[in-house]
Structure 1
Amino acid sequence: MSGVTLSNAVKKYGDVQVIHDIDLQIDNGEFCVFVGPSGCGKSTLLRMIAGLEETTSGQIRIGERDVTRVDASERGVAMVFQTYALYPHMSVSENMGFGLRMNGHPKQVIAEKVAEASRILQLDDYLDRKPKALSGGQRQRVAIGRAIVRGPEVFLFDEPLSNLDAELRVDMRVEIARLHKEIGATMIYVTHDQVEAMTLADKIVVLRAGVIEQVGSPMDLYKDPDNKFVAGFIGSPAMNFLNGTVRGGKVVLSSLNNREVTTEVMLPAEGSRVIVGVRPQHLSISAGNGGAVLDLRERLGGVSYDYLIAKTGEKIIVENRTEDTLPESSEVIVGFGDGDAMFFDATTEKRLR
């Protein structure tokens, strides 16, 4: 197995640049997730590593090899796509071993590799079935098995769960995490689902408009985001953002009846605008004239999500684990500890520290 290094990687389509000077180190055996909104360049970057997209400039290394101009088939990678791309007339076993057969491997070697991949993915009972006799989750496991038998240096996953229903997505997430634990391979995984990113990754790369916004472990990005974009993208439900103004060394929130927030971070000049971020689980509500109205309550059993609208029009989500019986349309006071707030420059959106 090998790590992957990108140095000043650039991708252009004509005059349009979609990947901007990417520098990234993915260590041997690491599970790295590219995450970001649609159109941020995460799949393009994955395809550049795979060799399916030409790198305009910069360098891509897999292990010690410079593969920037190497053909995709020679890079030592295996890719699992959003669509299963299985041959309908072949059995599971034949689909998994197809690549090895095309490369002229002996039948005994192919059988051994298919058997090992089948054991890892728990497909022994399905080896003689055709893809049409499998569920969506089983088909995706076959596609992953086809990648395993090739024995690649790096596994690449391009939104492999997006075609599955919610329950199967959870099951396959567990399968992929278990697979990584068992074989210890370097894996690079693309998703727009930050829950997948948080649960699978050793390292998350947050992308926006072809630029890396931040790289770190899931909890590093969750607890210590560098900017408002990362803070709002990592975490579910998303962080709440309220407009504040610096007054007398504190931040005043007009949306919450001029509630003052005390902080030790370096604030900009008096009168400057500051964005205050607070995660839904750090908020609470109680009855009273606090500048917000309980618009809707979403009950999910052990937890509820309260959707508030401030008198300034700002929207707030509160994670509620109490048996609160406040009726919808009630005026509420929003509470939180000053230490739970994060502060962002209103112009640059960078974190104030």
Structure 2
Amino acid sequence: MTGVTLQKAVKKYGATQVIFDVDLTIEDGEFCVFVGPSGCGKSTLLRMIAGLEETSGGQIYIGSRDVTHMDPAQRGIAMVFQTYALYPHMTVEQNMGFGLKMNNVPKDEINRKVSAASKILKLDDYLDRKPAALSGGQRQRVAIGRSIVRGPEVFLFDEPLSNLDAELRVDMRVEIARLHKELGTTMIYVTHDQVEAMTLADKIVVLRAGYVEQVGSPMHLYQDPDNKFVAGFIGSPAMNFVAGVAEAGGVRVPALSDIVVPTSVTLPTPGTAVTVGIRPQDMELTAATSPIKLDIRERLGGVAYDYLTTPTGERLVVESKGDLAMEEGTEVTVSFDESRTMFFDSESEIRLR
């Protein structure tokens, strides 16, 4: 197994810089996910590791080897793309072994490696089929199998599930997690879907506009975000943010009946604006005479998501039990777990601690 290290990695297109001094260590056998909104640089960073994008500055190491300017074929990586890129005239078996065949690997060895990959991915019954006769999830498994037979040191996945429907995405997510557990190989995975990131990753790298905002385990980022961006990006539904005002020993929240939330964090000068973060899971609704009304309720069976608008015009989402008897238009009061509330500087968006 082999880890990956980036030291002050930079990417520029002419005068435009898109990746800024990324320092990152991905350990041997770790499943690392790059996550962030569209255009944040996550696919560019992955392509730099693969050698498909030239690195403008800094170094990239795979294991102990400096691969910064090395040809992609020499890096010991295998990449799985968003599109399957299978040869339509070849069978599954031929597609999986084609790369080895082009490298003049003996036929017996190709058959052995394809057979091993096929068993891992449960493709034995499809080896004689062509891609047109496969479902989207099966095609993606063939693309992954083509990477497995190469025996790479590092797997790179660039949004591999984006073209699949919702049910297949869940199935393939489980397959990839199982694959990592079985192979134990270092994997780097790019997605904009934070649910994929939370369920797959050992380590998540949150990117925004070419900068790394925070690195950590899924639950660390969820429970202890460094700033408002990470707090809002990690977790589903997203964290609620409302305006607050610092006071001695607490923060007053005008949107929620001027409640003062006590806190021991270091607050700015009394009267200073503070952003208050509350997760939907930590909130509860009660039917009562109030200026707040339940606007929309999304029923998902076991849970429901309630959408509210406060008197100050701020939007809130509350996660409730799916069988809670409360209809749209009901006047409600909002309570929440004050001990789990987070506070952020309204200008810098850095979390107050």
TM-score of the superposed pair, with normalisation by structure 2: 0.99
- What displacement does 1:248 show? 3.0
Distance 1:159 1:96 in 2: 20
1:128 maps to 2:99: no
Letter in 2 for 1:202: D
1:3 maps to 2:3: yes
- What displacement does 1:324 show? 2.8
5+ long unaligned stretches in structure 1: none
Instruction: Tell me the percent identity.
Output: 70
5+ long unaligned stretches in structure 2: none
- What displacement does 1:114 show? 0.3
What are the Cα deviations for residues 196-234 of structure 1, in whole angstroms up to 9, with x where unaligned? 000000000000000000000000000000000000000
After alignment, is 150-159 or 314-323 more displaced? 314-323
What are the Cα deviations for residues 226-278 of structure 1, in whole angstroms up to 9, with x where unaligned? 00000000000000111100123321111111011011111110100111111
Spell out the pairing of 1:210-229 with structure 2 (5 A cutoff): 210-229=210-229
Equivalent position of 2:278 in the other structure? 278
Distance 2:324 2:203 in 1: 38
Equivalent position of 1:244 in the other structure? 244
1:269 maps to 2:281: no
Equivalent position of 2:234 in the other structure? 234
Equivalent position of 2:340 in the other structure? 340
Distance 2:322 2:334 in 1: 15
Equivalent position of 2:50 in the other structure? 50
In 2, are the aligned partners of 1:256 and 1:291 still within 8 Å (CA)? no
After alignment, is 215-224 or 322-331 more displaced? 322-331
What are the Cα deviations for residues 284-320 of structure 1, in whole angstroms up to 9, with x where unaligned? 0112244422101111111111100101110000000
Equivalent position of 2:30 in the other structure? 30
Spell out the pairing of 1:127-166 with structure 2 (5 A cutoff): 127-166=127-166
After alignment, is 282-291 or 37-46 more displaced? 282-291
SS in 2 for 1:142: helix
- What displacement does 1:155 show? 0.2
Equivalent position of 1:308 in the other structure? 308
The ranges of structure 1 where at least 4 consecutive aligned residues each deviate by more than 6 angstroms after the TM superposition are: none
In 1, are the aligned partners of 2:140 and 2:160 still within 8 Å (CA)? yes
Letter in 2 for 1:341: T
After alignment, is 336-345 or 8-17 more displaced? 336-345
Equivalent position of 1:172 in the other structure? 172
Letter in 2 for 1:21: D
Equivalent position of 2:101 in the other structure? 101
Distance 2:106 2:220 in 1: 47
- What displacement does 1:2 show? 0.6
In 1, are the aligned partners of 2:249 and 2:264 still within 8 Å (CA)? no
In 2, are the aligned partners of 1:280 and 1:319 still within 8 Å (CA)? yes
What are the Cα deviations for residues 299-347 of structure 1, in whole angstroms up to 9, with x where unaligned? 1111111100101110000000163323212221100121020111101
Equivalent position of 1:189 in the other structure? 189
SS in 1 for 2:114: helix
SS in 2 for 1:156: strand
SS in 2 for 1:351: coil
In 2, are the aligned partners of 1:290 and 1:334 still within 8 Å (CA)? no
SS in 2 for 1:155: strand
Distance 1:264 1:150 in 2: 54
Letter in 2 for 1:16: T
Distance 1:16 1:322 in 2: 49
Letter in 1 for 2:87: Y
Distance 1:195 1:54 in 2: 30
SS in 2 for 1:33: strand
In 1, are the aligned partners of 2:161 and 2:172 still within 8 Å (CA)? yes
SS in 1 for 2:172: helix
In 2, are the aligned partners of 1:257 and 1:290 still within 8 Å (CA)? no
Distance 1:298 1:5 in 2: 43
In 1, are the aligned partners of 2:36 and 2:42 still within 8 Å (CA)? yes
Distance 1:153 1:302 in 2: 42
Distance 2:325 2:103 in 1: 66
Task: Name the count of aligned residue pairs.
Answer: 353
